[in-house]
Amino acid sequence: MTKTIIGYPRIGEHRELKFATQKYFKHLLTAEELQETARQLRAKNWQTIAAAGIDQIPTGDFSFFDTTLDTAKLLNIVPKRYRDLHLDDLAEYFALARGYQGDTGDVKALPMKKWFNTNYHYLTPEFDADTQIKVGDWQLFDQFQEAQAQGINARPTLVGPYTLLRLSRFLDGRKPADFVAALIQAYTEILAKLAALGAKWVQLDEPALVYDQTDADLALFKQLYTPILAAKGHLSVLAQTYFGDVRDSFDTLTALDFDGLGLDFIEGQENLAVLAKHPFPADKTLFAGVINGKNIWRTNYQATLDLLAKLPDNAVLSTSTSLLHVPYTTRNETKIPANELQYLAFAEEKLQELADLDAIRTTGTKHAAYQANQALFATPRYEENAALNAKIAALKPADYTRQPDRQTRLQLQAEALHLPDLPTTTIGSFPQTAAVRKNRAQLRKGEITEAQYTEFNHAETRRWLKIQTDLGLDVLVHGEFERNDMVEYFGENLEGFRFTENGWVQSYGTRGVKPPIIWGDVARTHPITVAETVYAQSQTDKLVKGMLTGPVTILNWSFPRADVSAKLSTEQIALALQDEVLDLEKNGIKIIQIDEPALRENLPLRKKDWYTKYLDWAVPAFRLTAAAVKPTTQIHTHMCYSEFQDIIKAIDALDADVISFEAARADLTLLDVLHDTHFETHVGPGVYDIHSPRVPSVDEIVAIIHKILARIPLQNVWINPDCGLKTREEPETVASLKNMVTAVQQVREEL
């Protein structure tokens, strides 16, 4: 079988690209030196992939920032404000990606959005009255030739015209249809040029096909591709999809003159049903995405062989998505013991899996790799927590339901907590200064004792309790100084997680994340936040709010297990957090916030699956964490990063007492939705954006509070910033909060 992959990570095994790019930004590296680092990284990737025996190797998947932006740049979809900066190509590219402030102008970056259901972000191309599509020479042709020169059997890849249109923004009254002719011409030209350079196959990424498609969508797809494919000559064109299935576009795809169709058989389970109904056309090649490109577990070879048996014999063995979404290699992990590491496969190990599967198909199950894989999967990876899973199986609706109803609870809480109108609070974290991070690093390296570490954090908490009290805030927080990251911190303190040293995955541009791995059944073995919270409460007469990360966010920001459902893992985490919530309550904490900033992130791509394949268990899991507290204990939650309008009912159904939202950054558009849906949860729509050091004025915040009060009953409103303040400096934090409290005092006097 031919073996290929959709794409490979590009940040470098040791994040070389990140560090080189940052040096270039600081003018410590020239553009040519950065290009040289990039060339070396590409060459190393290609050698690794070729050495593993992969037959067709993608090029154009390398990017200095984002491949959607690369495609836009190649097509000259560069808004005038960036062209007017008169920068060289590389500098202009980074201006699009990160904004530019310098000698020739001041422009913000293009908006960034999450790439489908991943934690990778792409830059949103912008079409306007001024857009002149024409094919330039950004990256694509050079990378292909560079690979060819190294003897690589290269398959150039780029974002296809349909997905490009679906992901872009249209200004000046322009719409996708206005650009169809120009895109047809441009893609035709690109294919011709690649064919002339010697390409045999070209991969056009069309993941937008896995969303729900309307007839108009499919007509657009056909309109774009009919002429492009009519002109392709001997070149073979692969339409590559991933992150789901092509149930509504399969007929359209097969009717067009594509040479290959790339289908995802991991997330796109439905693709099998599609193939069962319509045989795969004999004149096309199926690129079968059978190795999971998004998760980090070893493939069970027998299961994959069973899957392959249902697919055409001449299918190309491939990954389900680009390997961009997993770390480079397990070889660099020294802390995870070998007997555990053998269950993990990052990008490099997945190459080997493709090679193994091909060899096993030829040699049969006598193959040593097959035998070893069978043996691996025959050994239990971890010991099941049977008691926990029995408890989960026995959960009843009442276990997810707080008593009494929210209105009654809020009444009892008002009597118990004695808060003023428009109570003020913050979202949890205060600045993670160099000193705070150094304290954690010193503990990790064993340079200070546990007691010294704790004393530093306590001193910081005391200092910030005083600042909060002097400012006149009503509900205080301890500041989260002991937390490196809101998910990692809980993962480290719960049973069932593993952590990598080098498992970096690109989130956007130079920013990487190192997601924890949910290894086994998750359980709480000891209190996690109780000591810090109780300490803070002991230092003040005001109320201190306990601070937890919610079960859905912990799951969504980790690598999930493949052997149990996300639902079960999330319920396990929820039960662990329930113990923590009850412990906080028992120790006198009266307000507990359970953050769920990532609730929206794993919403299925198809809307009709939202309530049947995700929210149906995600919302109950949150409810489980808080269901057993006393009526007078007030449960808060917090959300940010995304738009909530379309799931606002589900958010209300979390049955929290109070929620703080990121709102100021999104121009408070949320207020209308909260009003129109009669949102019942008491709510703190953020009154200022925390992503910039800018200090909002008192008047500005007063105006925002008036806007809020015009839409939401006074008794339901809390006042807080958009999100936590960990990324801010102390002076602007204090100045901003001072203005926030002053603004509230002014409004209270008017009441």
Catalytic positions, please? 691
Q: Which of Zn ion, ligand GLN, none does residue 92 bind (CB under 5 to 8 Å by kind)?
A: none
Is 675 in a helix, a strand, or coil? helix
571 is in an annotated binding site: no
Tokens describing residue 373: 């894989």
Closer to Zn ion by CB, 274 or 740: give it.
740
Give, in order, the Cα–Cα distances in Å from 339 to each of 69, 291, 381: 41, 22, 9
To the nearest whole angstrom, how small is the minimum distance from the Cβ of residue 665 to ligand GLN?
Answer: 12
Q: Which of ligand GLN, Zn ion, none does residue 663 bind (CB under 5 to 8 Å by kind)?
A: none
- Say if CB 562 and CB 297 are below 8 A apart: yes
113 is in an annotated binding site: no
3-class DSSP string for 440-455: HHHHHCCCCCHHHHHH
CA distance 351 to 362: 17
To the nearest whole angstrom, how small is the minimum distance from the Cβ of residue 507 to Zn ion?
Answer: 16
From candidates 285, 318, 319, 429, binder to ligand GLN by CB under 6 A: 429
From candidates 723, 740, 744, 747, binder to ligand GLN by CB under 6 A: 723
CA distance 622 to 650: 11
Stretch that binds ligand GLN, among 47-55, 405-413, 423-431, 703-711 (CB under 6 A): 423-431
- Report whether the peptide linkage leading into residue 604 is cis, meaning its omega lies within 30 degrees of zero: no
The count of residues interacting with ligand GLN (CB under 6 A) is 13
Q: Does 547 bind ligand GLN (CB under 6 A)?
A: yes
613 is in an annotated binding site: no
Q: Does 640 bind ligand GLN (CB under 6 A)?
A: yes
- What count of Cα atoms within 13 Å lies in the side-chain half-sphere of residue 610? 16
To the nearest whole angstrom, how small is the minimum distance from the Cβ of residue 548 to ligand GLN?
Answer: 9
Q: Which of ligand GLN, Zn ion, none does residue 316 bind (CB under 5 to 8 Å by kind)?
A: none
From candidates 308, 486, 575, 651, binder to ligand GLN by CB under 6 A: 486
Closer to Zn ion by CB, 175 or 694: give it.
694
From candidates 724, 733, 739, 741, binder to ligand GLN by CB under 6 A: 724
CA distance 67 to 318: 20
Stretch that binds ligand GLN, among 11-19, 229-237, 433-441, 722-730 (CB under 6 A): 722-730
Stretch that binds ligand GLN, among 26-34, 362-370, 379-387, 421-429 (CB under 6 A): 421-429
640 is in an annotated binding site: yes
CA distance 709 to 421: 12
CA distance 276 to 258: 20
To the nearest whole angstrom, how small is the minimum distance from the Cβ of residue 486 to ligand GLN?
Answer: 5
Q: Does 402 bind ligand GLN (CB under 6 A)?
A: no
Report, in angstroms and rounded to the nearest whole number, the Rg of the chain calculated over CA atoms: 27
722 is in an annotated binding site: no
Q: Which of ligand GLN, Zn ion, none does residue 475 bind (CB under 5 to 8 Å by kind)?
A: none
470 is in an annotated binding site: no
| 112-114 and 126-127 strand pairing | unpaired
| 121-123 and 154-159 strand pairing | unpaired
CA distance 534 to 588: 8
Q: Which of ligand GLN, Zn ion, none does residue 486 bind (CB under 5 to 8 Å by kind)?
A: ligand GLN
Binding residues for Zn ion, per CB under 5 A?
597, 640, 723
Alpha helices by DSSP H, listed for 168-293, are 180-196, 215-230, 250-255, 270-277
To the nearest whole angstrom, how small is the minimum distance from the Cβ of residue 639 to Zn ion?
Answer: 7
Closer to ligand GLN by CB, 249 or 720: give it.
720
| 201-205 and 154-159 strand pairing | parallel
Task: State the maximum Cα–Cα separation within the chain, in Å, rounded to a whole number.
Answer: 82
51 phi-psi bin (left φ>0, alpha ψ -120 to 50, beta other)? alpha
- Say if CB 277 and CB 301 are below 8 A apart: no
Closer to ligand GLN by CB, 221 or 688: give it.
688
Residue nearest to ligand GLN (CB): 724
Stretch that binds ligand GLN, among 39-47, 334-342, 528-536, 721-729 (CB under 6 A): 721-729
Closer to Zn ion by CB, 41 or 552: give it.
552
Q: Does 728 bind ligand GLN (CB under 6 A)?
A: no
- Say if CB 103 and CB 229 are below 8 A apart: no
Q: Report the b/e string of 150-170 with b at 16+ CB within 10 A.
A: eebebbbbbbbbbbbbbbbeb
Closer to ligand GLN by CB, 225 or 481: give it.
481
384 is in an annotated binding site: no
Q: Does 638 bind ligand GLN (CB under 6 A)?
A: yes
Closer to Zn ion by CB, 293 or 597: give it.
597
Is 403 in a helix, a strand, or coil? coil
Closer to ligand GLN by CB, 590 or 726: give it.
726
From candidates 161, 516, 520, 597, binder to ligand GLN by CB under 6 A: 597
| 494-498 and 634-639 strand pairing | unpaired
Q: Does 428 bind ligand GLN (CB under 6 A)?
A: yes
32 is in an annotated binding site: no
From candidates 726, 734, 737, 743, binder to ligand GLN by CB under 6 A: 726
To the nearest whole angstrom, how small is the minimum distance from the Cβ of residue 700 to ligand GLN?
Answer: 22
From candidates 146, 267, 349, 595, binder to ligand GLN by CB under 6 A: 595
Return all residues near 109 (Cβ < 8 A) that are at least 6 apart: 95, 96, 97, 98, 99, 123
Which residue type is seen at 6?
I
To the nearest whole angstrom, how small is the minimum distance from the Cβ of residue 488 to Zn ion?
Answer: 16
> What phi and psi, each to the nearest 5 degrees, are found at residue 587?
-95, 20
Stretch that binds ligand GLN, among 156-164, 337-345, 425-433, 491-499 (CB under 6 A): 425-433
- Say if CB 50 and CB 8 are below 8 A apart: no
To the nearest whole angstrom, how small is the minimum distance from the Cβ of residue 450 to ligand GLN?
Answer: 24
Give the residue among 492, 510, 359, 375 at the shortest CA–CA distance from 52. Answer: 359
- Say if CB 311 and CB 367 are below 8 A apart: no
Q: Does 146 bind ligand GLN (CB under 6 A)?
A: no
Q: Does 427 bind ligand GLN (CB under 6 A)?
A: yes
- Say if CB 102 and CB 88 are below 8 A apart: no
86 is in an annotated binding site: no
406 is in an annotated binding site: no
Tokens describing residue 111: 């908006």
DSSP notation for 627-659: TTS-TTSEEEEEE-SS--GGGHHHHHTT--SEE
DSSP notation for 73-113: HHTT---HHHHTT---HHHHHHHHHH-EEETTEEEPPPPEE
To the nearest whole angstrom, how small is the minimum distance from the Cβ of residue 625 to ligand GLN?
Answer: 15
To the nearest whole angstrom, how small is the minimum distance from the Cβ of residue 602 to ligand GLN?
Answer: 16
To the nearest whole angstrom, how small is the minimum distance from the Cβ of residue 21 to Zn ion?
Answer: 27
480 is in an annotated binding site: yes
Q: Which residue ranges are tagged as binding site for 5-methyltetrahydropteroyltri-L-glutamate? A: 15-18, 114, 557, 601
Q: Which residue ranges are tagged as binding site for L-homocysteine? A: 427-429, 480, 595
Q: Which residue ranges are tagged as binding site? A: 15-18, 114, 427-429, 480, 557, 595, 601, 638, 640, 662, 723
Q: Which residue ranges are tagged as binding site for Zn(2+)? A: 638, 640, 662, 723
Where along the sequence are the contacts to ligand GLN (CB under 6 A)? 427-429, 480, 486, 547, 595, 597, 638, 640, 723-724, 726
Q: Which residue ranges are tagged as binding site for L-methionine? A: 427-429, 480, 595
